[in-house]
Structure 1
Amino acid sequence: MERNLTLIVLFSALIVVLGLVPAIPLGFGVPITMQSLGVMLAGAVLGSWRGALAVLLVQFLVALGLPVLAGGRGGLGVFVGPTAGFLIGWLPAAFVTGLVVERIRALPVAIGAGIGAALGGIVVLYALGIGGFWLFKNAALQPGDTPMSLWAATLIMAPFIPGDMVKVVLAGLIARTIARYRPSALIARS
């Protein structure tokens, strides 16, 4: 129990620290950050439930108003802004990543973690992130404005995918390194 709690807090801290890496702001309100790598790693290393709890702890800190998101953001307002779908999507993204790593034991760790990170950290996260961005943009319409289509929101987010594919590879490589040098720490596979 104590070990689990320590690892959950450690990965929450990792997600927060990755928020200190300067974000690359884009003109439409969604910056490029490294925090999604921490979400992928939380799931890939800790497994589904522990990874999701690590993310939930970060989300709780954000809700309290602590500036733990990239760019020093925090507070309840970020849960209703253009990035809300991504922030909310972190929890299922970590859970799915961990679930895939737990289930795909026949493949090498790097490949299993990479597949998990791609499914959780890209497919799940982008589905929620794009949906949230689309809802935010359409909720802010003024009379006479043309609503944004879901396809248009998807096209706006598409440029982020290559960078997140790099994060998927990094998550796989880091998980493999942990498995090699500290196998007991890779809870998703134990």
Structure 2
Amino acid sequence: MERSLTHIALFAALIAILGFVPSVQLSFGVPVSAQSLAIMLCGTVLGARRGMLAVLLLLALVAAGLPLLAGGRGGLGVFTSPTSGYIVGFVLGAYTTGWLVERTTLPLGVAATAAALIGGVGVVTFCGIIGMSVTLGKTLAEATYLSAAFLPGDILKAVLAGLITVSLARMRPASVLSRA
């Protein structure tokens, strides 16, 4: 139990830290940052439940006003901004990524990369499209077009998540809880 709490807190901190890596602000208000890489790692390393809890912990801190999202954003206002769908997607994406890694018998690198693509890119992007459509008053097609700008970087981050997870498993096999 104590080990799980420590991992959850550490990965919530990792999400926050990667949000401070300089991001690029797109013209329609959504920043491109390394934060989504941490969401993918929550699932590939911690698994579904712990990964989701790490994201929820971070979002509780954001709701309390701490500026922990990309671009130094925090407070309740972010939950109604153009990024609101991505924020919801972070929770579902971390869970989906972890769930897929836990349940597949594929080699860890393949499983982690594929799960990060499905959960960390697919689920997060789907939720982001819905959120942008609602908050910006765009059609789903227009929101999909806007979100396409993220895909090359997100695919790269999914591959990195797979490589990092495999490297971590080689160095400290017991630390990859999604396969424990």
Question: What TM-score bracket applies, with the shorter chain setting the length?
Answer: over 0.9
**Do structure 1's residue 150 and structure 2's residue 140 form an aligned pair?**
yes
Gapped regions of structure 2 (runs ≥ 5) = none
| Corresponding position of 1:39 | 39
- Structure 2 letter corresponding to 1:100: L
Percentage of identical aligned residues: 52
Q: Distance in 2 between matches of 1:31 and 1:59?
A: 17
Shift in Å at residue 108 of structure 1? 1.4
Shift in Å at residue 161 of structure 1? 0.3
| Corresponding position of 2:163 | 173
Which secondary structure does the structure 2 equivalent of 1:119 belong to?
A: helix
Q: Deviations over 1:166-189 (max 9, x none)?
A: 000000000000111100000000
Give the 5 Å matches for 1:33-182.
Answer: 33-105=33-105, 107-138=106-137, 148-182=138-172
Which secondary structure does the structure 1 equivalent of 2:5 belong to?
A: helix
**What is the RMSD of the two structures over their aligned residues, measured on CA atoms?**
0.6
Q: Distance in 2 between matches of 1:70 and 1:125?
A: 15
TM-score (norm 1): 0.93
| Corresponding position of 2:18 | 18
Gapped regions of structure 1 (runs ≥ 5) = 139-147
Q: Distance in 1 between matches of 2:152 and 2:111?
A: 19
Shift in Å at residue 152 of structure 1? 1.0
TM-score (norm 2): 0.98
- Structure 2 letter corresponding to 1:125: V
- Structure 2 letter corresponding to 1:40: M
Length, aligned pairs only: 180
Which secondary structure does the structure 1 equivalent of 2:24 belong to?
A: coil
Shift in Å at residue 76 of structure 1? 0.3
